[in-house]
């Protein structure tokens, strides 16, 4: 696989299932996948459709979430890793994907529009009369 400008490779990680119950994949940096302990797909998955073979390389750059690494930047802000997600991902699917991390489990994630969601906690909305 091609390397990024900083020399890190991208790997394919199983994200979850879509509405048709087929696997969806994310194509993220190898260092991020190893940091969180996601299992990598060893071979490039493919689908047969109308007699043609389509290779599923995973999503990269369509949508992404920011996940804290636990470290701080020199200015004191939390260091965030960017993880690409499939366009069909919902908040619940993202939570279940991040819960699969075997090491350095994150506490929350930030969506593209800046909202943060906790992982593994019940989200309660107050009803204001």
pLDDT per residue as tens digits for the range 25-35: 888 888 999 99
Q: Is residue 59 part of a domain?
A: yes
* Domain carrying residue 15: 10-118
Q: Is residue 89 part of a domain?
A: yes
Q: Is residue 33 part of a domain?
A: yes
Q: Is residue 110 part of a domain?
A: yes
Q: Is residue 1 part of a domain?
A: no
Q: Is residue 109 part of a domain?
A: yes
Quickly tell me which residue has 């279940």 as its tokens: 96
The residues with which 80 forms a beta bridge, in sequence order, are 68
- pLDDT of 111 over the 70 cut: yes
Contact 119, 107 (CB under 8 A): yes
> What does DSSP assign to residue 65?
E
Q: Is residue 18 part of a domain?
A: yes
Q: How many domains does the chain have?
A: 1
Report how far residue 124's alpha carbon sits from residue 113's, in angstroms, rounded to the nearest whole number.
Answer: 20
Mean pLDDT of the region 36-62 = 74
Q: Is residue 123 part of a domain?
A: no
> What does DSSP assign to residue 1?
-
Q: What is the pTM of this model?
A: 0.76
Quickly tell me which residue has 């994907």 as its tokens: 97
């Amino acid at each position: 696989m091609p390397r990024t400008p900083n020399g890190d490779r991208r790997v394919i990680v199983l994200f979850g299932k879509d509405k048709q119950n087929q696997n969806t994949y994310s194509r993220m940096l190898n260092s991020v996948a190893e940091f969180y302990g996601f299992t990598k797909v060893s071979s490039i998955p493919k689908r047969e459709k109308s007699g043609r073979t389509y290779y599923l390389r995973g999503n990269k750059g369509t949508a992404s979430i920011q996940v804290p690494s636990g470290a701080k930047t020199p200015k004191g802000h939390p260091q965030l890793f960017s993880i690409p997600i499939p366009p069909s991902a919902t908040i619940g699917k993202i939570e279940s994907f991040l819960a699969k991390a075997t090491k350095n489990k994150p506490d929350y994630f930030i969506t593209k529009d800046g909202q943060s969601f906790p992982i593994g906690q019940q989200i309660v909305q107050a009803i204001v009369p």
